[in-house]
């Protein structure tokens, strides 16, 4: 049973604060993904857990024991890097066995563990080859195997798929997820790719500018983002965000410059008036929460079609609404009927609307509809 915990951890470099007072608990067997843009502090966080960076303040615990001053080799963690870091002069077998030999593991046990690891990642036929004779996906599997044979308490993975092409990324992503589930090893995984995060993690930690923005399951992050950063970072395409005026005389939201009018029942008017001291509110909705209106009088929002992307199974349509743009996701049939330059009216699913403070960007409790 392996758990890990970061308690109010910071990392300050001379020129900037890389990680700013973050706290995170990782349960036994959990697959936790750190995701965020470049420079958000996710890799620095991973390196502090590994012992490759020293935390400026706070506590890092593995199985309840503080490990801030424990050397990397004594933390019993295995790290998989973005670059494969294989020994080019050694065979796949020897690469897998290297760490075990350094630890003076008996030869019969080394052989058994190497062959077990090779089988789990489908490398049995490649054990005699050298890295130069392998594809990028095969090399990454060797790097994974080298972590597996050590049987560590904790897997740490730093963007291991970023050097692979799109097809190999998808295949290897599934392979890592399967292996982690079968092995049950507690895993902390870093990526800038929100698709990887959403499909792999049982818990996702969204970071920006050294701080944690939200910790939640993929579904909660998608449906109920904590702020506008999470709303736009998680999801492809991103959540649409439109700034609206709160009409003091009615329960309407009106986009600056017109073009949107979403009317609520009177019982929600108090919520609307008090939602933002500035008199403005940010309304969010996902591209799939929009349908083409039967007539203009029943619509919530309208705009001019700029681009139609036909993806086969769906169409993504970019709409210009005065000074704002938003994206809608349509079925292939509806998408085929839409042409650039047309003015289209849409209805928005009221139950799927999300609201954010215009000043802070933080989520506002559901207003209703």
Domains of the chain: residue spans and CATH: 4-232 (3.40.50.300), 237-364 (2.40.50.140)
Q: Which alpha helices (H) appear in the chain, and where do they start and end?
A: 42-50, 92-102, 107-120, 136-149, 166-183, 194-200, 218-223, 228-233, 269-274, 332-336
The SS3 call for residue 333 is: helix
What are residue 70's DSSP bridge partners?
none
Is the pLDDT assigned to residue 4 strictly greater than 50? yes
What pLDDT score does 297 carry? 65
Segment 163-184 shows an average pLDDT of 84
Count of CA atoms in the C-beta half-sphere (13 A) of 328: 28
Give residue-wise pLDDT tens across range 290-341: 999 887 667 888 899 999 999 999 999 999 988 889 999 999 888 888 999 9
C-alpha distances out from residue 184 to 199, 249, 250, 352, Å: 17, 57, 55, 35
Six-digit token string for 145: 């195997």
Is the pLDDT assigned to residue 131 strictly greater than 50? yes
Segment 260-274 shows an average pLDDT of 64
Count of CA atoms in the C-beta half-sphere (13 A) of 106: 3
For strand 301-310 and strand 315-321, is the pairing parallel, antiparallel, or unpaired?
Answer: antiparallel
| Residue 28 neighbours by CB distance under 10 Å | 13
How far apart are alpha carbons 40 and 19 in whole angstroms?
Answer: 8
Give the residue carrying structure tokens 């997820």.
Answer: 177
Six-digit token string for 103: 């630890």
How far apart are alpha carbons 226 and 334 in whole angstroms?
Answer: 32
CB–CB of 79/160 below 8 Å? no
Give residue-wise pLDDT tens across range 238-266: 999 998 877 665 556 666 556 777 776 65
What contacts 257, CB < 8 A, 6 or more positions away?
322, 323
pLDDT-derived band at 369 (thresholds 50, 70, 90) equals very low
Segment 18-22 shows an average pLDDT of 97
What pLDDT score does 26 carry? 97
> 279-315 burial by CB neighbour count: b if 16+ within 10 A, else e?
ebbbbbbbbebbbebeeeeebbbbbebeebeeeeebb
- Helices 107-120, 166-183: axis angle to 10 degrees equals 130
What pLDDT score does 203 carry? 96
Give residue-wise pLDDT tens across range 181-238: 988 999 999 999 999 999 999 999 999 999 999 999 999 999 999 999 999 999 999 9
Six-digit token string for 346: 């849409």
């Amino acid at each position: 049973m392996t758990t890990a915990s970061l308690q109010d951890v910071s990392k300050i470099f001379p020129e900037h604060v890389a990680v700013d007072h973050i706290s995170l608990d990782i349960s036994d067997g959990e697959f936790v993904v750190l995701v965020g843009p470049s420079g958000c502090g996710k890799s620095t966080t991973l390196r502090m857990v590994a012992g490759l960076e020293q935390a400026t303040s706070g506590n890092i615990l593995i199985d309840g024991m503080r490990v801030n001053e424990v050397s990397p080799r004594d933390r019993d963690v295995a790290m998989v890097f973005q670059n494969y870091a294989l020994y080019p002069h050694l065979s796949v077998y020897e690469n897998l066995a290297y760490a075990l030999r350094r630890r003076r593991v008996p030869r019969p046990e080394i052989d058994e563990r190497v062959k077990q690891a090779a089988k789990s990642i489908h490398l049995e036929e490649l054990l005699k080859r050298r890295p130069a004779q392998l594809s990028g996906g095969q090399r990454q599997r060797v790097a994974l195997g080298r972590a597996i044979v050590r049987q560590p308490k904790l897997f740490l993975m730093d963007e291991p798929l970023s050097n692979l092409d799109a097809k190999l990324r998808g295949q290897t992503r599934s392979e890592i997820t399967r292996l982690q589930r079968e092995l049950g090893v507690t895993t902390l995984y870093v990526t800038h790719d929100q698709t990887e995060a959403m499909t792999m993690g049982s818990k996702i930690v969204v970071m920006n500018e050294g701080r944690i923005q939200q910790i939640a399951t993929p579904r909660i992050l998608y449906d109920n983002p904590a702020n506008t950063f999470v709303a736009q970072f998680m999801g492809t395409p991103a959540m649409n965000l439109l700034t609206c005026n709160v009409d003091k005389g009615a329960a309407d939201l009106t986009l600056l410059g017109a073009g949107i009018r979403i009317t609520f029942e009177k019982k929600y008017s108090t919520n609307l008036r008090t939602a933002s001291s500035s008199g403005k509110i940010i309304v969010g909705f996902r591209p799939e929460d929009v349908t083409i209106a039967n007539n203009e009088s029943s619509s919530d929002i309208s705009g001019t079609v700029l681009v139609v992307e036909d993806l086969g199974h769906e169409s993504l349509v970019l709409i210009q609404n005065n000074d704002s743009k938003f994206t809608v996701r349509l079925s292939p049939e509806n998408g085929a009927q839409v042409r650039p330059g047309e003015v289209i009216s849409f209805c928005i699913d009221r139950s799927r609307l999300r609201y954010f403070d215009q000043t802070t960007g933080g989520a506002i409790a559901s207003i209703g509809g």
